[in-house]
Amino acid sequence: MLEVRGLEVSYGAIRVLNGIDLTVAPGEMVALLGTNGAGKSTILKAISGLLPIKAGRVTFEGTDITGAAPEIVLARGVGQVPGGRGLLPTLTVEENLNLGGHLLPKAQLADADADADADADAVTEAARPFPWMASRRRQLAGTLSGGEQQMLAIARALVARPRLLMVDELSLGLAPAVVEELIGLLQTLCHERSIAILLVEQHVTMALSVTERAYFLERGQVRFEGPSADLASRDDLIRSVFLESGSARRGR
């Protein structure tokens, strides 16, 4: 489904990604882990067309999308939940949901047998896993709790009916109970709807417990690729994440 080969990305003169190889199969949930600044979010942005690619190739379902514009990547079936949720806080829940499909043609958003307006139909379907949204569509997104904002960000991404969903920092700033609920949702999307999931996450233990395979990045390179259970036993790599997090907290 998704195949990344030899991906290189630079910020000015600084090379951030050095020849990244990565794959995600249909219906698979894959963890993308690593230390802060390793390039995890950069990979997602490069795949989505939000950053220029210096070298390498990105293909999705056999189609080359290397360097394609974000709306083209989205139309091909690649969705993203950005880190920090990326919502517009002064817009309502409904308005944020509508943004999820505004770049796509109505025919792509609608069910084949749908009689309702295509945009409305896609939004209703995307919000279905979150019953609370039905009665709070006119509430401003900025007044939602952190967990509700993350749910809204996921629902907005689902409006475009992606076949691959890339999720950046799902658990950031959220209570464990909320994270557990969101992880359960991603598992349902993956196993029941066959949506492939690429999960960028700092909560290493949790990510490894719910994914089949994992990649571990350090300084723009893949240090590990394989079964999540095997990475969980690599104390040398896992320890580097926790040591770095501890150093960052002490430095503040």
pLDDT of residue 115: 46
pLDDT of 112 strictly over 70: no
Are the CB atoms for 33 and 239 separated by under 8 Å?
no
pLDDT of 243 strictly over 80: no
pLDDT of residue 36: 86
CATH topology of domain 1-77+164-252: Rossmann fold (3.40.50)
| Distance, CA of 195 to CA of 28 (rounded, Å) | 8
Task: Write out the residue limits of the CATH 3.40.50.300 domain(s) in the chain.
Answer: 1-77+164-252
User: Looking at residue 158, what DSSP letter applies?
Assistant: H
pLDDT of 93 strictly over 90: yes
Edge-to-edge strands, sheet with 2-11: 14-24, 2-11, 55-60, 63-64
pLDDT of residue 244: 57
pLDDT of residue 102: 76
Give 225's Cβ-side CA count (13 Å radius): 7
The whole-number average pLDDT for the span 92-110 is 78
Are the CB atoms for 223 and 22 separated by under 8 Å?
no
User: Looking at residue 92, what DSSP letter applies?
Assistant: B
Are the CB atoms for 182 and 151 separated by under 8 Å?
yes
User: Could you give the 3-state DSSP secondary structure of residue 60?
Assistant: strand
pLDDT of 212 strictly over 80: yes
pLDDT of 37 strictly over 50: yes
Per-residue pLDDT tens over the stretch 44-76: 999 999 999 999 999 999 999 999 999 999 999
User: What's the one-letter identity of residue 227?
Assistant: P
User: End-to-end distance of the chain based on CA atoms, in angstroms?
Assistant: 41
pLDDT of residue 247: 47
Q: Provide the whole-model pTM.
A: 0.90
pLDDT of residue 239: 80
pLDDT category of residue 121 using cuts at 50, 70 and 90: confident
The whole-number average pLDDT for the span 127-144 is 95
What CA–CA distances, in Å, run from 160 to 15, 151, 190, 246? 32, 15, 16, 38
User: Looking at residue 159, what DSSP letter applies?
Assistant: T
pLDDT category of residue 114 using cuts at 50, 70 and 90: very low
Averaged confidence pLDDT in the chain: 89
